[in-house]
A and B are shown apart, each in its own frame.
Chain A
Amino acid sequence: MAEADREIIKPEMMKSYIWLQTSDGSLQQVEQEVAVFCPWICHEIHSGMGSSKTYPISLPSRVSPAMLSLILDYCRFHQVPGRSNKERKSFDEKFIRMDTKRLCELTSAADSLQLKPLVDLTSRALARMIEGKTPEEIRDIFHLPDDLTEEEKLEPIKNTIDDPRIRLLNRLYARKRKELKERERLKNVEIEEERVDERSVEDLLSFINGGDAESKVVKTSKTKKKNRRRKEPQKNTPGNDTSTSNSTSLSSNAVHIDKQESNGLDSTCHDAAACDHLLSDPGNPSKLPYIEEGFSPDDEFDDIDPAMQEKIDKEVADFARRLNSDWPEILSLGQERRRIPTAINCNGSLKRYASSASLAP
Chain B
Amino acid sequence: MSSMKQREPPKFLCKLEMEVDKISNLPGHIIDKILSHMSLRDAVRTSVLSSKWRYKWDTLPHLVFDNQSVLVSSQDQTLIKNKLVNIVDHVLLLHSGPIQKFKLSHRDVQGVSDIDRWILFLSRGALKEFVLEIWKGHRYKLPSSIYFCQNLIHLELFNCLLRPPATFDGFKNLKSIDLQHITMDQDAFEHLISSCPLLERLTLMNFDGFTNLNIHAPNLLFFDIGGVFENVSFQDTFQLAVVSIGLYTNTGFDRNHTFGSAGNLIKFFAHLPRIQRLEVQSYFLKYLTAGKVPGRLPTPCIELSFLSLRINFNDVEESLAALCLLRSSPNLQELEMLARPEEQSAMRISANIVEEDYENCPFNQLRFVKIAGISGLRQELNFIKFLLANSPVLEKMTVKPGSTDGGWELLKELMKELLRFRRASVQAQIIYLDP
* Interface presence of A162 (CB below 8 A): yes
Question: Are B91 and A157 in contact, CB atoms less than 8 angstroms apart?
Answer: yes
Bound: A161/B49 CA distance, A: 17
Q: Determine the interface band of chain A, counting residues with CB < 8 A from chain B.
A: 35 or more
Which residues from A are CB-within-8-Å of B35?
127
A329 at the interface (CB under 8 A from B): no
Whether the Cβ atoms of A104 and B22 lie closer than 8 Å is yes
> B21 contacts which chain A residues (CB < 8 A)?
142-145
- With A119-B33, A127-B34 already in contact, the answer to whether A145 and B50 are too (CB < 8 A) is yes
Q: Mark B47-66, 1 if CB is under 8 A from A, else 0.
A: 11111111000000000000
Given A142-B21, A145-B21, A161-B71; A126-B34 close (CB under 8 Å): yes
B81-100, CB < 8 A from A: 83, 87, 90-91, 94
CA distance A347 to B166 in the complex (A): 64
A24 near B1: Cβ-Cβ < 8 Å: yes
Q: Quick one: which of A117-140 are within 8 Å of B by CB? A: 119-120, 123-124, 126-128, 130-132, 135, 138-139
Provide the bound-state CA to CA distance between A100 and B19, in Å: 11
A162 and B53 in contact, given A105-B22, A124-B37 (Cβ under 8 angstroms): no
Q: How far is the CA of A162 from the CA of B87 in the complex (A)?
A: 13
Judge whether A235 is part of the interface by a CB distance below 8 angstroms: no
Decide yes or no whether A23 CB sits under 8 A from chain B.
yes
B389 proximal to A (CB < 8 A): no
When distances are taken between beta carbons in the complex, the residues of chain A under 8 Å from B48 are 135, 148, 152-155, 159
B308 at the interface (CB under 8 A from A): no
Is A107 a contact of B20 with CB atoms below 8 Å? no
Contacts A131-B38, A147-B51, A158-B44 given; does A64 touch B5 at CB 8 Å: yes
A101 at interface by CB-CB < 8 Å: yes
B72's closest neighbor in chain A, by CB?
A: A161
Most buried by A among B1, B19, B54: B1
- Which residues from chain A contact B41 at a C-beta distance below 8 Å? 158
Q: A23 to chain B: which residues have CB within 8 Å?
A: 1
10 closest pairs, A vs B, by CB? A127-B37, A104-B22, A131-B38, A143-B19, A131-B42, A144-B50, A123-B34, A123-B33, A23-B1, A157-B90
If A123-B37, A126-B23, A148-B51 are given as contacts, then 18 extra A-B residue pairs at C-beta distance below 8 Å, sorted by A number, are: A22-B1, A23-B1, A24-B1, A24-B5, A64-B5, A66-B8, A100-B23, A108-B27, A119-B30, A126-B34, A127-B36, A132-B42, A143-B19, A144-B23, A144-B24, A158-B40, A158-B41, A161-B83
